[in-house]
Amino acid sequence: MTQVTDHRGGVQSLRVPIPDNPLGHTLVYVLDTDRGPVLIDTGWDDPASWDALADGLTACGTSPAEIHGVVITHHHPDHHGLSARVREASGAWIAMHAADASVVRRTRENPPDRWYAYITGKLIAAGAPEEHMAPLLAVRASGRMRTLPGFDAALPDRDITPGELLDLPGRRLRAIWTPGHTPGHVCLHLEENHPAGLPGRGRLFSGDHLLPEITPHIGLHEDPDDATVTDPLGDYLDSLERIGRLGAAEVLPAHQHAFTDAASRVRELLTHHEDRLTDLLTHLAHPLTPWQLAERMEWNRPWDQIPYGSRTIAVSEAEAHLRRLVKLGRAEAVAGSDPVAYVAV
């Protein structure tokens, strides 16, 4: 039986499992409106996850067929994965920030072989060793490239416009653009009195932007059709400060559990990233490639215990931190290095 939590005031959450992932589940929120229930995120596209979503909706007194709309905090498959099935069951609209909708569109338009070529090139440029590249190169050589999660995600029907109230009759839900984890990540501020009378300004559906005990992944946004030099970590830190000033009474995140004192959690994360950048400068006393830097960074387990796929994600996070250091003038690329190496300045 799917675990359902009543947050009162017409807000419930249910746990939708993420297969083979230490996060365990995504918290999907069910928001009552005058036109029917609206979901905030949907969960991973998997039969067991769909069953959990449907069972949870039944426990909430509704069903997939009765969903009026779907609001997506960001395009990742553990949030957007089941959106298409919900729309097929109900005719619900799907809303997403235009930046993430663009990622979904380009991802659908690029065939798997182009994605594999792009990822291969990125890893080689980051200094990935032969043993890491071998499985990827073997898949490309075989021509049996599988479709990865998110490659055929649903195209949204509506854009979420930052700063505006969403069209949800009977509710005041305002979108706040919080890029960093993805280019179009949004938090959603429920501008209504807290049902338990907690002090502060309403409740915040924070997606992956603000979590109570873990730090969201901030990496480079992979996209073979977009050569823009972005600064996702800088975007994330700026977004965190905006959320910290909001003064929400309670945060309803997409993972783990609800919590209060968002400002304190924001301060912890800002301090964490500043400490991490300072630590990386120590490593960069000598030139290192992004891969070499990732090997030396502190993760939730030793590098030799990090699975293959997670190492690729870790290198992307190392690159995002390097981008931030370069933009701040605290590191630079070593001229002529191949693969490119970076050093503190």
pLDDT tens-digit readout, 164-177: 999 999 999 999 99
Listed in sequence order, the residues at least 6 apart from 273 whose beta carbon sits closer than 8 Å to its beta carbon are 233, 236, 237
Domain assignment present for residue 89? The answer is no
Domain assignment present for residue 338? The answer is yes
CB 282 within 8 A of CB 183: no
Q: Which domain CATH number covers 282?
A: 1.10.10
Q: Whole domain around residue 298: which residue ranges? A: 275-344
Closest CA to 154 of 100, 221, 195, 210: 100
What's the pLDDT band for 30 if we cut at 50, 70, 90? very high
Q: What stretch of H or E contains 205? A: strand 203-207
Cα–Cα distance between 132 and 163 in angstroms, integer?
43
In the chain, the number of structural domains is 1
Domain assignment present for residue 304? The answer is yes
> What's the whole-number average pLDDT of the chain?
94
Q: What is the pTM of this model?
A: 0.95
Cα–Cα distance between 256 and 129 in angstroms, integer?
35
The confidence score (pLDDT) of residue 136 equals: 84
Domain assignment present for residue 300? The answer is yes
Domain assignment present for residue 281? The answer is yes
Domain assignment present for residue 20? The answer is no
Domain assignment present for residue 334? The answer is yes
Domain assignment present for residue 305? The answer is yes
Is pLDDT of 242 > 90?
yes
Closest CA to 201 of 211, 209, 193: 193
pLDDT tens-digit readout, 262-296: 999 999 999 999 999 999 999 999 999 999 999 99
Is pLDDT of 203 > 70?
yes
